[in-house]
Amino acid sequence: MLTRAQLERYRADGFLVLPRFVEPDACAALRERAGEIVAAFAPHRDEAPVFDTTEQGHARDDYFLTSGDKVRCFLEAEGEDGSWAVNKIGHALHDLDPVFEGFSYNARLAEVAGDLGYRDPRLLQSMYILKEARVGGEVTAHCDHTFLWTEPPTVSAFWFAIDPATVENGCLWALPGGHRLPVRSRFRRAGTGTTMEVYDPEPYPTDGMVPLEADVGTLVLLPGLLPHPSGANRSERP
Ligand code: FE2
C-alpha cells in the first residue's frame, strides 16, 4: 500500500498523512453509528463521570480502566449552563460494534501495518473522538506509547478524519522528528487507580509543531513515540 517514498517520509517525520484513504461513505457510516451510540447513552449520562476533571477520582478511574473491552461514552467537562457533550467513545468498538469492526479489520489496513513492519499486528484499542462544535476539548501533547506501553515500543495509531479537521476545529498537530525524542512519562495502574510516572517533566517543544489538517477519509499514521496534541474546538463545526 505504501510507496518507498512514503515510508521514507514516515521514518523521517514520524507521521504520514494519506488523503482519501477511506471512502466518504465509510466515514459517514461511522458518524451515523457513533450518533446512535451517543443517543442510546444520553438517558444514562448521569452514570458516567466526566473524563477530564480530578474530582470523582475513583469512579472516573474505574469507568476508564474497565472500558478496554466495552463501548463506553466519556464526557466533556460540563458547560456553565449545565450542557453536556460526549468527548469520545471507547475502547473496544473494533471488536464489539459490527460497523466499527468492518471498518477496522480489513485487508488494506493489514497491508499498511505490514508495510510499517508489523508481522503479527493486533487491534488493541479504538476510540471515536467527537470534538463537538464549540465544546470539544483540547488534548495536550502526549505520545501513545505512554498509555499503551510495550518493550520495545510497538504501538502505532491509525487516525481517520471522519469530519474535515482544520486548525479552527481542533485538528491534530505533530512535531516532525519528535518520534526520536525519549518517552517522558508512563501511565500505569496503581491499586484501584492510575498514576503517571514522569521521567522528564519538561513539556514537549511547541516550536516546530505542524497542524495535520485533513479532509474526510484521510488516514494519519502516528507511531507510538510521536508527540501529538490537538486543539480545542471553538468553531461551529464538529
Ligand atoms: Fe494520542
CA of 129 to the centre of ligand 1 (A): 11
Q: In a 10 Å sphere around its CB, with 0-12 CB exposed, 13-18 middle and 19+ buried, how is residue 16 labelled? A: buried
CA of 175 to the centre of ligand 1 (A): 13
Question: What average pLDDT is seen over the chain?
Answer: 94
CA of 226 to the centre of ligand 1 (A): 9
pLDDT in tens, 137-148: 999 999 999 999
- Nearest residue to 86 (alpha-carbon basis) of 150, 20, 37, 25: 37
- Residue 56's pLDDT is what? 55
CA of 19 to the centre of ligand 1 (A): 20
CA of 130 to the centre of ligand 1 (A): 14
> What is the 3-class SS of 77-131, one letter each residue?
CCCCCCCCCEEEEEECHHHHCHHHHHHHCCHHHHHHHHHCCCCCCCCCCEEEECC
> How many Cβ atoms sit within 10 Å of the Cβ of residue 70?
13
CA of 27 to the centre of ligand 1 (A): 20
CA of 14 to the centre of ligand 1 (A): 13
CA of 154 to the centre of ligand 1 (A): 14
Q: How confident is the model at residue 82 (pLDDT cuts 50, 70, 90)?
A: confident
CA of 164 to the centre of ligand 1 (A): 18
| Alpha-carbon radius of gyration of the chain | 18
Q: Do 135 and 83 contact (CB within 8 A), yes or no? A: yes
- Residue 51's pLDDT is what? 59
Characterize the bridge pairing of strands 139-142 and 193-198: unpaired
- Residue 46's pLDDT is what? 86
pLDDT at 53 over 80: no
pTM of the model: 0.94
pLDDT in tens, 216-230: 999 999 999 999 999
- Residue 167's pLDDT is what? 97
CA of 92 to the centre of ligand 1 (A): 16
CA of 228 to the centre of ligand 1 (A): 6
- Residue 192's pLDDT is what? 85
Work out the average pLDDT over 53-67. Answer: 76
pLDDT at 180 over 70: yes
Q: Which residues surround ligand 1, an ion (CB under 5 A)?
A: 144
